[in-house]
Amino acid sequence: MARFSLVLPVYNVRAYLRECLDSVLGQTFTDFELIAVDDCSPDNSGEILDEYARQDERVQVIHLEANAGLGPARNVGMNQATGDYLLFVDSDDAMAPGALAAIAARLIATDDPDVLIFDYARLYWNRRLVRNRLADLLKQSEPAVFTIDERPELLTLLMVVWNKAFRREFIAAGGFQFPAGFYEDTPWTYPTLLAARRIAVLNRVCIHYRMRREAGNILKSRSRKHFDIYDQWRLVFAWLDEHPDLVGWRPLLLRRQLEHVMTILDNPGRLPAEARGEFFAQAHEAFERAHTGEPLSVPAGVAGRRLRLLAEGKYLRFRTLTALVAVLVSWRRRMRQVRGGARQQYRRGVRVVKRAYYHLQLRLPIDPNLALFSAYWDRGVTCNPAAIYYKARELAPHVRGVFVIRDPKSTTIPEGVEWVLVESIAHRRIAARAKFFVNNANFPGWVRKRPGTVHLQTQHGTPLKKMGLDLQDYPVGANRMDFDRLLKRVDRWDFNISSNRFSTEIWERCYPASFETLEVGYPRNDQLVLATEADRVRIRKELGLAADATVVLFAPTFRDYRNDFDPEVGLDELVQAIGDNGVLLVRAHYFLTDDGSESPIASDRIRDVSGHSSIEALLIASDVLLTDYSSIMFDYAVMDRPIVIFAPDWDTYVRTRGVNFDLMAEPPGVVARTADELIESFRSGAVVAEAAAKARADFRRRFCDFDDGHAAEKVVRRVFLGEPLAPQYESESTAVTRAGAQDSEQADDHVDAAPTTLEMDET
C-alpha cells in the first residue's frame, strides 16, 4: 500500500502532459502510485501515458473506451486507488518541487487528518507565478487539527479538489463520488469539508495551477455549458438535506452559490449574450429552491446589493447597476490615460493616419476567393507557403493567391506568381480584404483578424531548439522578444501545421491558442518524398555537378549569440576527406546573407549555394547532409540519406538557446564535436557505416511521422475547400518511389517524413 494515490484524468492535454508527469514523478518523496485515466483522449495523450508507464512502475494507465468526463474519470481512478491518501491532479497543472514531501510531513505532524488543504499558485503563460490571494487563510495556527466550524473562512477558498489530500478511508466511508458535468468539484468539496471531523492546513504552494490561454477548460469557453452550475449546486443542497445536523450551514452555502453564479455573470466570455437573461432567471430559481426562509447575509456596498438583486430575480435593476459601475470604472481609467498618456495618444494618432487606407478597406466585404501568402518574413516564394500556393492553384483554382515580397531585387519570383511589395497600398488592401492568410512566420501586428477569415500557420521547422513561450527562460535566444505581442499574433491562427507528434506537443505548449492542429507533415517536403532519380540527375545538371560526384551539403543554423558565419573547420581539408570526387555545397543561414554580400567561399570543389532559391533542390541533389542544430536535418531524414552533426559549441547552444531533446544522445547519424573528429568521420567511412544507419533509422521513427507526399493536398482540402482531414494515405507511386534504391526491409522502415530548412523564431 502506497502513502499516496494520485489520480490523474487525462483528456486532450498532450502539450502539457509531459510537464505534469515529470513534476509528479520527479518528486523527492517517492511512496506513491500514479493512476492515470485516459478519458478516450482524441490526441496522443494516451500514448504518452503508456510511454511513461513503461519507464516507471509507479504509473498505472487506464484507457476508457468512451469519453466519460472529468468527474467519472476521477471515479474510475479513485476506485483503483490503494494509498492512504487520495490526491487529484489536473493533467495541465504541475506539482511544485518538494510538494509531496511537505504534504507527507504535515500529515504526520497532524496525525493523519481526514482532509489536508494546501496552497497553490496560478501559473501564467509568461511563467509568472501568482500565489493564491487568500493564502493567509492557510496559516498553520493552533489547533493544528480542527473542524470547519472552527475555521469557516476556509469555505471561501477556491472550491477545487486538487489543493487537498483526502484520507481514502474517510472518502469511502462517506460514499463520496464525483458527478458528471462541468462544475463537478462543487458537490465534492463542500460536502467533504463539512463532513470531515479532522481538517488540517499546509501553508505551502504545492500545485502550479495553469491558466491556459487557449480553449482547454470551462473558464475559457463561451457556451451554455455553464448552466451546469445549477445542477451541481442542487446536489450540494440535496446532500445537506440528508444531513440535518449540518443545516446551520445553509445560509453560508446560499451566499457561496450566489457568488459562484456572479463570477460567471461578471465574465463576458463565458455566456452567450442571448443566454444571460435565462441564466439570471435560473439563478433566482436555484436560490428560491434552496432557500428555506433564513436571512441572506451579504457584504455591504455595491457587491452586496448585486447579490441581493440576483437572489430576488430583479434582472433589469441588476443590469442597470452593473452598467453604472462599468461606466464609472471606464471613466476613471480614461482619466488616468489622459493625464499620463499624451505622448502615447499622439503616437496612436500617427499610426491611425498611416493606416487610414487599411481601415477603410476593412469596411468592405471580405473577398472569399483571395489569399495572402508570406514566407520567412516576406523573403520570397518558398517553403511551405509556396507548396500550398501551387497545390491551391491546382485544387482550388478559384482562389487568387498573392505573395508579400520585402525586396524583389534580392529574391527570385517565379513566373506567374502575383506579388505585392510589403507595406504598400496594394499590400494593405489585400491584407484587409483577403479571406485566407498563409505564413510560415507571422503577419505584422497591424493585420487584423476579421471574422470569417482563415489564418494558416505552416511553421518552418521541427523545434529542436526552444521556441515561443519556452524562450522566456532563455533571454539570449529570446533577444528581447515581446511575448505579449507574439501571443496576440498567435491568437489569429486558425490552423497550425505539425510535421510530427513531437512537434505537436511543443507547438501547442509554446504557442497556446485555440488553433486546429493539422498533423499532415510539411507541404514543402512533398517533393522530397516523391523525388525520383531523374529529379536528382536533372538538379545536379542545373547546378553543374557531375553525376558521380559525392555531394555534401553543409548547412549550419544561426546562433543567437553570434552574427558571423564561421564554419569552424577547414573546408579544404574537409572536402579532401570526402573523397577524390567530393564536392562541398555551403549554405549559410539567410539571417547572415540578408545584406546581399557573397561569401568568399569558392573553388571547383567548394561551392557557395547560400543564394540558391530552393533548399529542397539542394537536398535532393546531395548525398550527405552536414549540419549542426538546424532543423534541416529533419527534412533530410525524409530521404533516408546520411546525416552528420557537427556540434563544436553544443554546450553553449544549450545554455543560450535551450533545446527540446538531447541531440547528442539521439542524433540522426554521426556526431562530431571537434573539427578533427569531423574530418576523421569522413575519412574513416563512419558517415555511412552501420552504426550511423541505425541512428538514422531511430531518428526517422521518432520524427518522420506524417510526411507522405500529400501534405499540401491535405492542407488545401482542409483549409481552402473546407473538407474534413482525411486519414493519412500513401499512393502506390509514393511507395514505389520510396522503395527505389532500398531493399524491402529498409522500405518498410521508411516512416513518413520530417521538416525544415534553416529556421528562426516566429516573433
What is the grid cell recorded at 619? Answer: 537536398
Residue 167 φ then ψ, to 5°: -65, 125
Q: Average pLDDT, stretch 302-319?
A: 90
In tens, the pLDDT along 222-266 reads 788 999 999 999 999 999 999 999 999 999 999 999 999 999 998
Res 739: pLDDT: 34
Whether the Cβ atoms of residue 468 and residue 763 lie closer than 8 Å to each other? no
Whether the Cβ atoms of residue 46 and residue 61 lie closer than 8 Å to each other? yes
Residue 623 has pLDDT above 50, yes or no: yes
Whether the Cβ atoms of residue 187 and residue 231 lie closer than 8 Å to each other? no
- Rounded to whole angstroms, the Cα distance separating 376 from 381 reads 9
Q: Average pLDDT, stretch 89-93?
A: 96
- Rounded to whole angstroms, the Cα distance separating 560 from 475 reads 10
Share of the chain above pLDDT 90, in %: 72
Residue 34 φ then ψ, to 5°: -110, 115
Least confident of 98-112, 355-369, 384-398: 355-369
Q: What is the dihedral of CA 30, 33, 37, 43, to 10 degrees?
A: 30
Residue 369 has pLDDT above 90, yes or no: yes
Cβ contacts of 734 within 8 Å, gap of 6 or more: 529, 530, 708, 709, 710
pLDDT band per the 50, 70, 90 thresholds, residue 542 = very high
Sequence-ordered strand ranges (E) for 47-108: 59-63, 85-88, 94-95
Residue 191 has pLDDT above 90, yes or no: yes
Res 294: pLDDT: 84
Q: Average pLDDT, stretch 329-341?
A: 67
Please, which residues bridge with residue 482 across strands?
A: none
Whether the Cβ atoms of residue 588 and residue 556 lie closer than 8 Å to each other? yes
More confident residue, 257 or 354: 257
Residue 596 has pLDDT above 50, yes or no: no
- Rounded to whole angstroms, the Cα distance separating 214 from 264 reads 18
- Cell 472550491 -> residue: 159
In tens, the pLDDT along 710-733 reads 999 999 999 999 999 876 443 333
- Rounded to whole angstroms, the Cα distance separating 502 from 509 reads 11
Whether the Cβ atoms of residue 270 and residue 221 lie closer than 8 Å to each other? yes
**Position 457: which residue type?**
Q
Whether the Cβ atoms of residue 44 and residue 501 lie closer than 8 Å to each other? yes
Res 588: pLDDT: 82
pLDDT band per the 50, 70, 90 thresholds, residue 356 = confident
In Å, what is the CA distance from 106 to each residue of 117, 142, 544? 10, 14, 75
Helices (H), ranges, 3-120: 14-25, 45-55, 70-79, 99-109
In tens, the pLDDT along 558-582 reads 776 666 667 888 899 999 999 999 9
More confident residue, 757 or 205: 205
What is the grid cell recorded at 409? Answer: 531585387
Residue 736 has pLDDT above 50, yes or no: no
Cβ contacts of 59 within 8 Å, gap of 6 or more: 21, 25, 34, 36, 49, 52, 53
Q: Average pLDDT, stretch 14-23?
A: 96
Whether the Cβ atoms of residue 52 and residue 91 lie closer than 8 Å to each other? no
Strands 434-439 and 454-457: parallel
Helices (H), ranges, 266-382: 276-290, 301-312, 315-340, 342-354, 356-362
What is the grid cell recorded at 373? Answer: 501568402
Q: What is the pTM of this model?
A: 0.76
Res 480: pLDDT: 80
- Rounded to whole angstroms, the Cα distance separating 393 from 381 reads 14
| DSSP per-residue letters across 363-423 | TSPPEEEEEEEE-TTTT-S-HHHHHHHHHHHHH-TTSEEEEEES-TTSS---TT-EEEETT
- Rounded to whole angstroms, the Cα distance separating 100 from 106 reads 10
DSSP state for residue 717 in the 8-state scheme? I
Sign of dihedral through CA atoms 278, 281, 287, 288? negative
**Position 373: which residue type?**
F
Q: Average pLDDT, stretch 510-536?
A: 95
Res 270: pLDDT: 86
What is the grid cell recorded at 75? Answer: 471515479
- Rounded to whole angstroms, the Cα distance separating 687 from 700 reads 17
- Cell 459601475 -> residue: 325
Please, which residues bridge with residue 67 across strands?
A: none
Residue 318 has pLDDT above 70, yes or no: yes
Measured in Å, how far apart are the chain's first and last C-alpha atoms?
Answer: 50
Q: Residue 395 burial by CB count (10 A; 0-12/13-18/19+): exposed, middle or buried?
A: middle
In tens, the pLDDT along 132-176 reads 999 999 999 999 999 999 999 999 999 999 999 999 999 999 999
What is the grid cell recorded at 389? Answer: 500556393
pLDDT band per the 50, 70, 90 thresholds, residue 614 = confident
Res 745: pLDDT: 31
3-state secondary structure of 161: coil
In tens, the pLDDT along 544-564 reads 999 999 999 999 987 766 666
Q: Average pLDDT, stretch 671-694?
A: 95
Residue 503 has pLDDT above 70, yes or no: yes
Strands 454-457 and 94-95: unpaired
**Position 701: which residue type?**
R
pLDDT band per the 50, 70, 90 thresholds, residue 285 = very high
Omega cis (within 30) before 143: yes
Residue 349 has pLDDT above 80, yes or no: no
Q: Average pLDDT, stretch 304-333?
A: 85
pLDDT band per the 50, 70, 90 thresholds, residue 323 = confident
- Rounded to whole angstroms, the Cα distance separating 404 from 430 reads 10
Going along the chain from its start, the domains and CATH numbers come out as: 4-219 (3.90.550.10), 221-232+241-340 (no CATH), 365-521 (3.40.50.11820), 525-749 (3.40.50.12580)
Q: Find the radius of gyration of the CA atoms of the chain.
A: 30
- Rounded to whole angstroms, the Cα distance separating 220 from 211 reads 9
Whether the Cβ atoms of residue 570 and residue 675 lie closer than 8 Å to each other? yes
Res 186: pLDDT: 95
Res 214: pLDDT: 65
Res 412: pLDDT: 85
* Residues belonging to the chain: 763
In Å, what is the CA distance from 498 to each residue of 388, 501, 706, 759? 14, 7, 9, 15
| pLDDT mean across residues, the chain | 88
Nearest-CA neighbor of 323 among 275, 260, 266, 272? 266
Whether the Cβ atoms of residue 242 and residue 249 lie closer than 8 Å to each other? no
What is the grid cell recorded at 388? Answer: 500550398
More confident residue, 644 or 334: 644
